[in-house]
Structure 1
Amino acid sequence: MSEPDMWPEDWADPPPPDAVRLVVPEPRLAIAQATPPPVPTWRPRDLEDVLDGTYTPPQPTIGARNDGIGLFYPGRMHSVVGESEGGKTWFALMAVASELAAGNAVVFLDFEDDAPGVVGRLLALGASVQDIRDRFAYIRPEEPLTIGINRLEIGQALNDLRPTFVPVDGVTEGMAMHGMELKDNTDIAKFGRMLLRPIAEMGAAVATLDHVTKDREGRGRYAIGGVHKLNGINGAMYILENRAPFGIGMTGKSTVRIAKDRPGQLRRHSLPHSSGMHWFADFVLKSHDATFTEASLYPPVEQDGPFRPTEVMRKISAALAGATEPLNVRGIEARVGGNKGVLATGLAFLTDEGFVEVQPGPNRSKLHVLLKPFEEEE
């Protein structure tokens, strides 16, 4: 019998009948020979550092806000979600540029865009050509990870570069490619175990870029799909609420809120918000042209003036704009909902600032007419 060998795919003639096909087990993403075997997870953990006070909680050191506060935790899974063209990819690429400038490596896994689009944005953000050549890898999968030697291919890239940051753009498309159901929590967990968690276990901060549901009122803290997208995150989850559209030659703006912070080190650098999600930053992207873009992540600032419920004011404006006739307070409440006191405050601001006019109605009621749409001041 001949010695076992890999089955050659390009044999011109059929293999001899006594040939033995060697079955090679599928490796995990990490394939480095020097990587030690994982510690059995069912073994009781050593708690001594927690008990003696020497334990240090994980710190966000990947990417940075303008004041130096980091965005992502090494070795953990994160998510950045928002509406289409709300700045998710720009937000991640700002962190990519920061890591490259610091001398670190990045692997960008993309199920949505293409290499020219991603690299072009990086160059516009000021990343150097040499840094991209030396320490940046772009992967655009077009077939499942489980086919052929795809695991070996991405594993080799990860082991060669040892990236500190791995954005994963297009989770919805990635799951569909693998025949997984977006709304199935079991499939969401399976996708995480198959691709995301092994990368995080190598020490990189993994950040999926995802879409929110179309329903603004009911979306809460969740991305589109199953709830496990939030539950499976052991780092942070950011929600980007778009304020001004992004585009070439435009200045885009999104409010960055924290929907989840598992290690608990980011919320202390944020401000509370009525939505229950902390205000972490204002993301501003100023595009001069296709080749030059300035990105800033401003920390939140306490307002010295009176409380202005701008989100409620926007909703009132939209309700009045969509009504077929002037509305009384009860009609506004029915369309906007929420806390009546906050709604009354927002309505008063709109009236005082000339966005809404109050007119007398039947039975001494007060009717509200929209004079001009409300736009939050930059």
Structure 2
Amino acid sequence: MVGEGLTAQAGEVGLRCIDIRPDSVDWPASVREALDVADGLIGAGIPVFVCKPDGVGADWNPRGGTGGTGYFLRRGWQNTVADPAELDEFEPGCALAMVCGHGLDGIDVDLYKDDQGEARLRAEGVMPAVYAEASTPSGGKHFLVASLGIHSRDGVRAGLDVKAGTSSGGRGFLFIAPTVKLSKASGKPRAYSWVQRPGLQRLGSAIRDDHSGHEFAKLVEAARTEARRRPHPVVATPSTPVEVDPVEYSAMPPGLCRRIDAYIAKVVDGTCNDLKTAHAWPEGYRDDRGRGWEKCTADAAMRLGQLARAAWNRLTLEDAFDVLIRNAPVDGAWTEVDVVDKWRNQSGRGDAAPHPPFAAAELAELVAHQHNMEVTSQVDSEASHGRADVSEGAESRSTWAPVDLRSILAGANEQLRPTLFPRTDGQSLLYSGMVHSFHGESESGKSLLVQIEAARLILSGKNVLYLDFESDPSSVVRRLEMLGADSKAIIDHFDYRRPEAKPDNDFERPEWLAMLSRQYDLAVIDGVTDSLGVFGGSSSKDNDAVASWMRALPRPLATKTGAAVVMVDHVTKDRESRGRFAIGGQAKMAGLTGAAYIVEVTKPIGRGMKGVIELRVGKDRPGAVRAQCGSYRKSDRTQLAARVVLDSTGSITVVSIEPPDLLVQDEHPGDEGRQPELMERAHRAIEQSPGLTKSGIVKVLGGNRSRVLKAIDVLVEDGRVAVEEGPRRAQLLTIKKFQETENQSSGEMTGTGSGSYTEEPENQYPNSSGNL
């Protein structure tokens, strides 16, 4: 008995166990419905049989079994009769198949090969009346139609196969629900499902009197006749592009070539023996896999074609065809023309054969080496043309080629969601496979923030890449340890690198390309300005240099490794003009594919202290972060995304990434006018010359009148400056007298007698050695 098996339900399914036994009545609804349909087909005279899986439960081999279906077809399935007892053999993990040519045939339309296949048949007026419709694992369709009176035929057109049969033979079969197979579109297990269940009341006499498939049958026979008239091929062209192993046989070491030659000879000899054995089979004989002459020849053609299309061996398509035509069984009924027909239909099916297991390690190394050589081009030459020099210069497919949008449209309702740097409310701030920026003033905690996420990830067994262009390994490791990361997590999952040269030479290139071949969850570029210099950029203000660098480093890191890439960058010294941008060219912001965050310290951080860092989002290209952020700050067009509380009063720094209060406006409604340096100067001028008007303060301070007036307004709002009415209703400014409030103990006050106005300490790190 097959114990556990696959869940059989529409859509994608996983290789997980289910607690079902053949004698149980507690089947999943989808399985019960599928079994009821199968029972109804049998009752209408349509044979259905059970196929055992190649492996049980999680050991199921979806590419094994007969013809790579994942299931074994029993001997003589073509002779199955419509018997309800057939379903008694069904167990979890099994497949169901319907034999065609007994009143119903099947039209198989593979939409992933030709998404207009069905529409074209209907437009031509050759689509027969449909009695049932099923969805296939690859997103195609199976149409059940009245028997066409012809033999089965694959490849009538691209993506169009026919499963039929007559009393003289040529029968085919269709898998039906609840069978699970690998999707040829996604590579994941999916189940067949009924879109339109068979109208059993219409079967019987209705299908016997149905001649709507006459024109379609003529189309199939015309395709068969045309194929037989073609001359014998010397090469076979796959019907769809097939990706093959990029390692050429000629590039392999001699020892490996000899072992591969022996392997190919063994496989070819085995295929020849299978074909020769079939010569002795009597008419109608089926082997233990349910194969007759025709299926045996088809399997051989497909196997030989897959081997010949693989780059890792020297078997050619001409040689493979010669092997088939010399060894395939033929007689008066099954001729050489039929063998040629099978070669045309089967030799291009499926992917090229994978390399043999014994060569896995050596071939993987050779694949990586060849990939490295292809991806790398002459960096200086490409850079002079504004191209991505060491990362994207050797794609096997033109970047100007049309992009297939079907996979995107299939998930059109799924918005890209951030998954890294989570807040305490579950909302995350970083997108996998996208480029982000953390930028702020010196010692504002930019690097610390990405190290916080790095520590969290490596402790959970995830991989982090850290490209350090500014600091040193001991400082970074010490930070990770203070954040709770242990030595094992750091050694196993933290990939630290300190590049000092452009990877455009034979010495640097191998490590660069090996890095791009790995998978990371987070990739940090700490020190954008220095990194630009390493890659040949003359200045952060040069937009062309910035754009070239973005194509050469951050974007390839994101697309090739799958990581959320975070660039740690600086801002200009002038608070009033910096806005939401990092220092340098606008291309930095334009090149981001994820989000940009401004880093601001609102409470000093350091060892023995409990500080607060605020993250404000300045750009969110995917759009899933802003809606979960705080109010809008007009001065730099940002929103508060998170408050990071760092408690370093103990031996381990405790971090809490808290969300903003989404129901309350920012702490200072007039925040766009808060200019600490200017406010300090205005405060001092009023203290030294009480009774001046606003215009008088503007004359004393000079500069931009609007900015000075805003600074004065904020001082008034904060209760630090009083406005008194003078002669001719003039508004005179004075320093407000000190008044204690109930918040004095916490350091807050409504007024101050004298002194300067400050918001943030100038040095956020009291001791750069060892303090956070």
Please indicate the TM-score interval, normalised by the length of the shorter structure: 0.7 to 0.9
CA–CA separation in structure 2 for the residues paired with 1:98 and 1:298: 16
Larger Rg: 2
The alpha-carbon distance between structure 1 residues 248 and 337, as it changes in their structure 2 partners (threshold 3 A), is: farther
Q: Deviations over 1:326-349 (max 9, x none)?
A: 453446687673698x87874443
Q: Structure 1 residue 325 and structure 2 residue 683: aligned?
A: no
CA–CA separation in structure 1 for the residues paired with 2:632 and 2:430: 21
Shift of 1:97: 1.6
Q: Structure 1 residue 260 and structure 2 residue 624: aligned?
A: no
Gaps of 5+ in 1: 5-23, 32-36
Letter in 1 for 2:655: A
Q: Deviations over 1:101-154 (max 9, x none)?
A: 332100100000011111111111112221111111110112223244323213
Contact 1:271–1:300 (CA<8 Å) still a contact in 2? yes
Q: Structure 1 residue 123 and structure 2 residue 461: aligned?
A: no
Q: Deviations over 1:296-315 (max 9, x none)?
A: 22101133899643563564
Letter in 2 for 1:179: G
Match of 1:365 in 2: 730
The alpha-carbon distance between structure 1 residues 81 and 67, as it changes in their structure 2 partners (threshold 3 A), is: same
Contact 1:83–1:242 (CA<8 Å) still a contact in 2? no
Contact 1:29–1:198 (CA<8 Å) still a contact in 2? no
SS of match in other structure, 1:71? strand
Match of 2:653 in 1: 293
The alpha-carbon distance between structure 1 residues 357 and 91, as it changes in their structure 2 partners (threshold 3 A), is: same
SS of match in other structure, 2:495? strand
Task: Output the aligned Cα RMSD.
Answer: 3.3
CA–CA separation in structure 2 for the residues paired with 1:60 and 1:116: 31
Q: Structure 1 residue 151 and structure 2 residue 509: aligned?
A: yes
Match of 1:221 in 2: 580
Match of 1:234 in 2: 593
Higher helix share: 2
Contact 1:65–1:299 (CA<8 Å) still a contact in 2? yes
Letter in 2 for 1:274: R
SS of match in other structure, 2:447? helix
CA–CA separation in structure 2 for the residues paired with 1:306 and 1:142: 43
| Greater shift in the superposed pair: 63-72 or 143-152 | 143-152
Q: Deviations over 1:274-327 (max 9, x none)?
A: 3221211112222226x5212222101133899643563564742423536345
Shift of 1:224: 0.7
Letter in 2 for 1:73: Y
CA–CA separation in structure 2 for the residues paired with 1:343 and 1:148: 58
1:197 to 526, 543, 555: 555
Shift of 1:177: 2.6
Match of 2:68 in 1: none
CA–CA separation in structure 1 for the residues paired with 2:502 and 2:668: 51
2:641 to 263, 280, 300: 280
Q: Deviations over 1:202-228 (max 9, x none)?
A: 211111000001110000111111010
Shift of 1:195: 1.3
Letter in 1 for 2:730: S
Letter in 2 for 1:175: L
Match of 1:337 in 2: 706
1:135-174, aligned counterparts within 5 Å?
135-160=493-518, 162-174=519-531
Gaps of 5+ in 2: 1-250, 252-372, 377-388, 736-751, 761-772
CA–CA separation in structure 2 for the residues paired with 1:332 and 1:57: 52
Letter in 2 for 1:320: A
Q: Structure 1 residue 106 and structure 2 residue 464: aligned?
A: yes
SS of match in other structure, 1:175? helix
The alpha-carbon distance between structure 1 residues 337 and 26, as it changes in their structure 2 partners (threshold 3 A), is: same
Letter in 2 for 1:325: S
Contact 1:200–1:206 (CA<8 Å) still a contact in 2? yes
Q: Structure 1 residue 74 and structure 2 residue 432: aligned?
A: yes
Letter in 2 for 1:221: R
Q: Deviations over 1:328-377 (max 9, x none)?
A: 3446687673698x8787444322xxx22345656543333443555669
CA–CA separation in structure 2 for the residues paired with 1:84 and 1:70: 25
The TM-score with structure 2 as length reference comes to 0.41
1:270 to 609, 622, 629: 629
CA–CA separation in structure 1 for the residues paired with 2:693 and 2:611: 35
CA–CA separation in structure 1 for the residues paired with 2:586 and 2:674: 30
Shift of 1:29: 6.7
Contact 1:172–1:182 (CA<8 Å) still a contact in 2? yes
Q: Structure 1 residue 41 and structure 2 residue 399: aligned?
A: yes
1:209 to 551, 555, 568: 568
Match of 1:251 in 2: 610
Identity of aligned residues (%): 36
Letter in 1 for 2:718: L
Match of 2:208 in 1: none
The alpha-carbon distance between structure 1 residues 204 and 286, as it changes in their structure 2 partners (threshold 3 A), is: same
| Greater shift in the superposed pair: 150-159 or 95-104 | 150-159
Contact 2:675–2:711 (CA<8 Å) still a contact in 1? no
Shift of 1:250: 2.5
Shift of 1:255: 2.1
| Greater shift in the superposed pair: 295-304 or 187-196 | 295-304
Contact 2:430–2:436 (CA<8 Å) still a contact in 1? yes
CA–CA separation in structure 2 for the residues paired with 1:157 and 1:119: 20
CA–CA separation in structure 1 for the residues paired with 2:514 and 2:667: 56
Contact 1:196–1:206 (CA<8 Å) still a contact in 2? yes
Q: Deviations over 1:252-280 (max 9, x none)?
A: 32321111000000001112323221211
CA–CA separation in structure 2 for the residues paired with 1:147 and 1:252: 45
Match of 2:446 in 1: 88
SS of match in other structure, 2:496? strand
CA–CA separation in structure 1 for the residues paired with 2:711 and 2:391: 54
Q: Structure 1 residue 349 and structure 2 residue 717: aligned?
A: yes
Contact 2:468–2:497 (CA<8 Å) still a contact in 1? yes
Aligned length: 345
The alpha-carbon distance between structure 1 residues 328 and 66, as it changes in their structure 2 partners (threshold 3 A), is: farther
SS of match in other structure, 2:596? strand
Shift of 1:55: 4.0
CA–CA separation in structure 2 for the residues paired with 1:295 and 1:227: 33
Higher relative contact order (CA 8 A, sep 6+): 1
Contact 2:633–2:671 (CA<8 Å) still a contact in 1? no
CA–CA separation in structure 1 for the residues paired with 2:567 and 2:413: 28
SS of match in other structure, 1:108? strand
